[in-house]
């Protein structure tokens, strides 16, 4: 039994820290968006009397990673087998393109890809694995959903799909060849005051409404926000330089993704994306452009009239914005 899956990366269009739990984890209000940058997983599995899990890494990012049992993909395979009380021989190959320590969720997406692949091959219910996926990593459950956009709450594991039927902008991503450890970012974080959290929660709701209504980028680009920028930009020259260079191009829809270090810009057209890449490219960073990752489910939503309540979608959107 063998299958091949694409494991998309993500960016955060919005990220506010709303509190800190007694166990040390931070509560978030965020909007995830999957993109067409990612890794390719090929997985072969057969029942066996004893479990044997192997991983081969290829691709440009592979030399930076370990293929040992601590790799999140291997851990995900073990979680699947333990959850369903199975033993099997599992052989995996990951073609790695998503940078590490980049705020793009590459490892989490790979782990979710393993869970999806194994559920497909062994005909198991993927939803059963959501609690186990959250224990692997807060971002792992995100990649078990088909949807492009999801609102995240809790530590990011409480997810609500956000349909976005309208045309979407292009993304230009800049990875400054710097990995930013998430633990250090949160160690520098000072929790925002309650008033700021309430204001930003309202802004997140507005952003979601714009996306649901298919509004153009110009309507919602001012709502992009990432609280963790203040914990990274002053302390990481490479990220700060990217932000400065982007601002020099008069690009205003610019944000750091997650806990960094990738910075991305949203632009209206492919031509704009290509022009921005040419202005930003240098040997100290990796610059590329891509699109949001639309699943078949998203495409179906985009081709039908999405219901927002009573009245036409247009009228409801106008009332809510």
Could you check whether the bond before residue 261 is cis, i.e. omega within 30 degrees of 0? Answer: yes
151 catalytic per annotation: no
Q: Is 96 exposed, middle or buried (0-12, 13-18, 19+ CB in 10 A)?
A: buried
The neighbouring-strand residues paired with 95 are 40, 58
Q: Which of 34, 96, 110, 139 is catalytic?
A: 139
Tokens for 94, please give them: 């990951």
Tokens for 76, please give them: 């995900």
23 catalytic per annotation: no
Which residue, chain included where needed, has tokens 């782990």? Answer: 111
Nearest in space to 155 (alpha carbons), one of 142, 168, 167, 166: 142
Active site positions, annotated? 10, 139
């Amino acid at each position: 039994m063998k299958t091949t899956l694409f494991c998309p990366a993500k960016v955060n269009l919005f990220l506010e820290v709303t509190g800190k739990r007694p166990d040390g984890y931070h509560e978030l209000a965020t909007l995830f968006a999957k993109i067409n940058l990612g890794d390719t997983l090929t997985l072969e599995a057969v029942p066996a009397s004893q479990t044997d899990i192997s991983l081969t890494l290829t691709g440009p990012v592979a030399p930076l990673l370990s293929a040992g049992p601590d790799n999140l993909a291997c851990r995900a395979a073990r979680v699947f087998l333990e959850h369903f009380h199975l033993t099997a021989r599992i052989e995996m190959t990951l073609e790695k393109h998503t940078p590490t320590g980049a705020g793009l969720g590459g490892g989490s997406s790979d782990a979710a890809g393993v869970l999806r692949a194994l559920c497909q091959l062994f005909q198991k219910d993927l939803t059963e694995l959501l609690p186990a996926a959250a224990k692997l990593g807060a971002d792992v459950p995100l990649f078990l959903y088909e949807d492009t956009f999801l609102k995240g709450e809790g530590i990011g594991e409480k997810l609500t799909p956000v349909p976005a039927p309208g045309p979407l902008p292009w993304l230009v991503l800049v990875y400054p060849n710097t990995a930013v450890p998430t633990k250090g970012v949160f160690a520098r974080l000072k929790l925002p005051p309650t008033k700021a959290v309430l204001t930003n929660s309202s802004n997140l709701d507005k952003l979601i409404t714009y996306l649901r209504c298919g509004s153009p980028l110009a309507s919602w680009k001012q709502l992009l926000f990432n609280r963790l920028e203040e914990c990274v930009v002053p302390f990481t020259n490479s990220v700060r330089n990217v932000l400065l260079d982007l601002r020099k191009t008069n690009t205003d829809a610019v944000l750091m993704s997650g806990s960094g270090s990738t910075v991305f810009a949203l632009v209206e057209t492919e031509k704009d994306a290509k022009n921005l890449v040419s202005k930003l490219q240098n040997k100290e960073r990796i610059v590329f452009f891509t699109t949001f990752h639309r699943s078949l489910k998203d495409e179906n939503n985009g081709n039908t009239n999405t219901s927002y309540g009573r009245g036409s979608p247009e009228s409801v959107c106008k009332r809510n914005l």
